């Protein structure tokens, strides 16, 4: 069913979406709205230095293991899998490309770099699934200690291998991210770990939830900032009730998109989040990976269900006014070698 994407059809009537307010952004460091008494930036003043980030929680520091002797490129690969969780070699290459590192895959170089990290006990590998040769990699405890010793650690636990099911979670999120980046100009994209790290640093004035991902896209109609929630199985009614309250308090995002592994989940999840019309949308993940921005998005409006192409929904949402959000923890890679 085709619906015109106007204010009424997108469920933007009074009471359907959270109220938003303007925020003055400081010229340096964190936005003023981010500063709270429990944040390092509030105690230090406007300027947030690399030393602030390196010494913020967790406070324990590790002595650098100089015997490892990583090359610049090996260290970049280690930081990618540390920030994005489980990654296949191809994902690592594409993520590096998105950060301005123009690697090619003519000689399987990314795979060799990951194997080298595994031999040094800095990374661990796991088969993606039964009956497949695909392999994914994540950082080990030793790899995390090495990154922390160099002052590049995130302010959250980046242990992606302690939960066997997490490999599917991170691979799914990375595929979603790379699909968006292949179609839309991206201002930034925060991974699961980077969102958690931001919220750990900023405190109660940060994002309302540790979302699975947060991205900001540059569209012809403006910028749109949204969260990705990757739902692989049905949760409890209590969990959805709590989620309702949390999402209703979000002030920095234009929208939240639930990516569902099972189309049957849509009816369940939408039933619990009906009062968030105009703010929460639902997409079949497998269809999104095939159709990209043309995939159908399902949403509530006035008690009725509608659908529209994702790219149209993103453009419409970009016209809302929401406070600015400046990420604190983004992966920055230097030395853009092209080999």
Q: Which CATH number belongs to the domain containing residue 98 in this structure?
A: 1.10.10.10
Token pair 């990375």 is at which residue? 174
CA–CA dist 8, 42 (Å, integer)? 41
Q: Residue 266: which domain range?
A: 72-317
Task: Determine, yes or no, domain membership for 50.
Answer: no
**pLDDT score of 7:** 39
Task: Determine, yes or no, domain membership for 64.
Answer: no
Helix (H) or strand (E) holding 75: helix 72-84
* Crossing angle of helices 192-202 and 72-84, rounded to 10°: 80
How many domains does the structure of the chain reveal? 1
**pLDDT score of 105:** 67
Q: What is the pTM of this model?
A: 0.78
Phi-psi region of 104 (alpha: psi -120 to 50; beta: other; left: phi over 0): beta
CA–CA dist 297, 320 (Å, integer)? 18
Task: Determine, yes or no, domain membership for 133.
Answer: yes
Task: Determine, yes or no, domain membership for 270.
Answer: yes
228 phi/psi in degrees, rounded to 5: -105, 130
CA–CA dist 258, 243 (Å, integer)? 12
Token pair 């105690």 is at which residue? 43
Q: Which residues of 308-319 are buried (b: 16+ CB within 10 A; e: fewer)?
A: bbbbbbbbbbbe
Task: Determine, yes or no, domain membership for 331.
Answer: no
pLDDT by residue for the chain (339 residues), tens digit each? 444 444 334 443 333 333 322 322 333 334 434 444 344 333 333 333 333 333 433 323 333 344 468 988 999 999 999 999 999 999 999 999 998 887 776 558 899 999 999 999 999 999 987 777 889 999 999 999 999 988 888 888 888 877 767 899 999 999 999 999 999 999 999 999 999 999 999 988 899 999 999 999 999 999 999 999 999 888 888 998 999 999 999 999 999 999 999 888 888 888 888 889 989 999 999 999 999 999 999 998 888 889 999 999 999 999 999 999 999 988 888 644 444
Task: Determine, yes or no, domain membership for 225.
Answer: yes
Task: Determine, yes or no, domain membership for 46.
Answer: no
**pLDDT score of 155:** 87
Task: Determine, yes or no, domain membership for 250.
Answer: yes
């Amino acid at each position: 069913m085709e619906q015109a994407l106007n204010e009424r059809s997108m469920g933007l009537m009074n009471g359907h979406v959270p109220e938003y307010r303007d925020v003055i952004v400081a010229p340096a460091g964190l936005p003023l709205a981010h500063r709270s008494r429990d944040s390092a930036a509030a105690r230090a003043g406007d300027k947030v230095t690399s030393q602030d980030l390196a010494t913020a929680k967790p406070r324990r520091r590790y002595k650098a293991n100089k015997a490892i002797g990583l090359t610049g490129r090996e260290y970049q690969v280690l930081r990618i899998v540390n920030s994005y969780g489980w990654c296949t070699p191809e994902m690592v290459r594409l993520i590096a490309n998105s950060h301005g590192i123009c690697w090619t895959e003519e000689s399987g170089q990314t795979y060799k770099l990951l194997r080298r990290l595994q031999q040094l006990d800095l990374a661990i590998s796991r088969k993606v699934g039964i009956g497949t040769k695909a392999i994914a990699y994540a950082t080990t405890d030793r790899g995390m200690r090495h990154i922390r010793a160099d002052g590049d650690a995130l302010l959250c636990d980046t242990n992606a291998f302690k939960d066997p099911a997490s490999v599917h979670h991170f691979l799914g999120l990375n595929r979603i991210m790379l699909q968006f980046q292949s179609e839309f100009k991206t201002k930034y994209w925060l991974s699961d770990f980077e969102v958690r790290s931001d919220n750990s640093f900023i405190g109660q004035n940060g994002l309302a939830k540790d979302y699975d991902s947060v991205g900001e896209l540059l569209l012809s109609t403006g910028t749109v900032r949204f969260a990705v929630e990757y739902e692989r199985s049905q949760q409890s009614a209590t969990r959805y009730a709590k989620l309702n309250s949390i999402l209703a308090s979000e002030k920095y995002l234009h929208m939240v998109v639930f990516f569902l592994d099972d189309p049957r989940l849509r009816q369940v999840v939408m039933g619990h989040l009906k009062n968030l019309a105009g703010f929460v949308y639902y997409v079949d993940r497998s269809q999104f990976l095939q159709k990209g921005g043309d995939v159908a998005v399902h949403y509530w409006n006035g008690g009725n269900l509608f659908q529209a192409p994702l790219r149209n929904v993103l453009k419409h949402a970009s016209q809302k006014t929401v406070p600015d959000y400046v990420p604190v923890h983004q992966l920055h890679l230097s030395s853009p070698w092209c080999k």
